[in-house]
Amino acid sequence: MDRPTPDPDALAPTAPRSPASLAWWQERVLYQIFVPSFQDADGDGFGDLAGLISRLDHLSDLGIGAVWLTPIYATPFEDAGYDVTDFTQVGARFGDLPTFDRLLAGLHARDIRLILDFVPNHTSDRHPWFRESRASRASPRRDWYVWRDPGPEGSAPNNWLSRFGGSAWTHDARTDQSYYHAFLPSQPDLNWRNPEVRRAMHEVMRFWLRRGVDGFRIDAAAVLAEDAALRDDPPNPDFDGDTPPPERFRRLRTDSQVVTLDYLAELRRVVEEFPDRVLLGEVDTAPDKLPGFYGEGTRRLHLPLNYRLLSVPWKAAALAGAVDAFLDALPPGAWPNWVLGSHDKARIASRVGPAQARVAALMLLTLPGTPMLFAGDEIGMPNVPVPVDRMRDPFERLVPGYGLSRDPSRVPLPWTAGPGGGFSAVEPWLPAPCPPPVAPVAAQARDPASLLSLYRAVIALRRRRPEFRAGGYARLRAEGGVFAYARDLDGVRGIVALNLTPSRLEAEVGTGRILLSTRPGRGGACEGRLCLEPHEGVVIAA
Ligand code: NOJ
């Protein structure tokens, strides 16, 4: 008798799945490209789409299955492109629509999907919608943004703070009202409570979906709508002298509002008008809120991006605990995902050091769920200090003294050992140190012991062995500096054992054959008690 097929919507996140049932976004490795720093082709010092086309071999050789591009739209570039003046135009610094179509075709020809950054929460203050909105209180687009009368004596309408420092309200003398901005004053928030705004943004999505994009990463997905009554945020009880001022209050009235979840469900319905597309979302939320973003009964995001591994102490017990806590927080049917880097966070190689960066690679690619790799992490790019006079991220300038600049993880990638690292023929928009801080892509591609070769090998292993894509997850140990887990599928067990310490350790993890190690050249059998070299991670076929 046939076994009944389990309902994927009812499965625990740690349960095995049938490999054939997985969607592309569940089994592939996703790769985030910060476009301004990937490859410049037109010689203006900024990465662009033509440059990306010239680097497609790197993506195929790495073995990733989808790319997420940071914003490529028309923009004055005050926040690295997250300040958009036209959502359906490619910005001139990035290229044009025909080049975009060429890129999409080139990616699809290599069986690589394309995910665009969708920035629905705000526009640039130079967007024609905002120009119209601010022109007069009677403007038909007035209500497309969040305008309020000032408080007593011209004060802000309430205590909400911008994430980039100062009040989240900017007073506009022309009409004597203030507009709300979760980010920079030059990034006014759209009013998502207005159905015309929602319709306009749905049309933006359809524009790109019709062109053939495979999905979106929704920027600031948890903050689309604010408390309608504009109630003050309460003080943050953890605020002390070391906390950056924008965190003085807890963002209870602007983050994760119930109505925002309704708007995300609408976005999901839009992508479902097209077959086989995906919605990722930037959602930094408490565990109890996570199920709502996946959707309970209602479908919302396929993958609310999970940044937990970036803040947890890099120790076996803490990592294992963070993995369990995340998996426990997921509702039935939800698919996990793991992120180890982004253009907003410190580079993993700097955080954990080059030796542990290899362990991190192995873990990222073997935990249950979809891995998201940040371009540059595959060659171990560290944070690169950027001198004050070259700084581009407004965050540090607006909230000085806390080391908040995101520029160090955004510098151009080194492709070759030549001047500018092969990124650009001219001085790039952010410094490209010469010599590069790590061996460039070309050198690492030739070196079987490089981090790049390790990434390629582990991605190839995922492709060959379905237990690492679809297998169940069970923690085996998290004590004594070793984090080990099993991935089980139809009687096949893969074991991953990670030494998080600089010491040689022995651990009881099971018997089997070593398939791969972070230390080149290691092979052989494991007879139950495994000896792990300092900073070594291994994969065992049990
Ligand atoms: C999140 C993006 O990742 C970040 O880079 C940007 O500054 C803010 N959203 C505002 O769009």
Tell me how far CA of residue 24 lies from CA of 31, 276, 302, 458, in angstroms. Answer: 13, 8, 12, 18
Which pLDDT belongs to residue 444? 98
Name the strand (E) or helix (H) holding 445: helix 441-446
CB of 344 shorter than 6 A to ligand 1: yes
Q: So what's the pLDDT on residue 4?
A: 67
- If one residue of 73, 82, 162 were mutated to test the ligand 1 pocket, choosing by the most ligand atoms within 8 A of its CB, it would be 82
Give yes or no for a contact between 74 and 39, defined as CB atoms under 8 angstroms apart: no
Q: Where are the domains of the chain?
A: 128-180
Q: Which helix (H) or strand (E) covers residue 133, if one does?
A: helix 128-135
**Beta-sheet pairing, 370-374 with 337-339:** parallel
Nearest Cα to Cα of residue 372 among 410, 326, 338: 338
Name the stretches of the chain with pLDDT < 70.
Answer: 1-4
CB-count burial class (<10 Å; 0-12, 13-18, 19+) for 338: buried
Phi, psi of 303 (to 5 degrees): -140, 95
The catalytic site residues sit at 219, 273
Question: CATH assignment of 128-180?
Answer: 3.90.400.10
* CA-nearest residue, atom 2 of ligand 1: 219
DSSP structure string for 283-311: ----GGGHHHHH-SSS---SEE---GGGT
Residue whose CB lies within 8 A of the most ligand 1 atoms, among 73, 79, 372, 404, for a mutation test = 79
Identify the pLDDT of residue 1: 47
Is 282's C-beta closer than 6 angstroms to any atom of ligand 1?
yes
CA of 219 to the centre of ligand 1 (A): 6
Predicted local confidence at residue 521, as pLDDT: 84
pTM of the model: 0.98
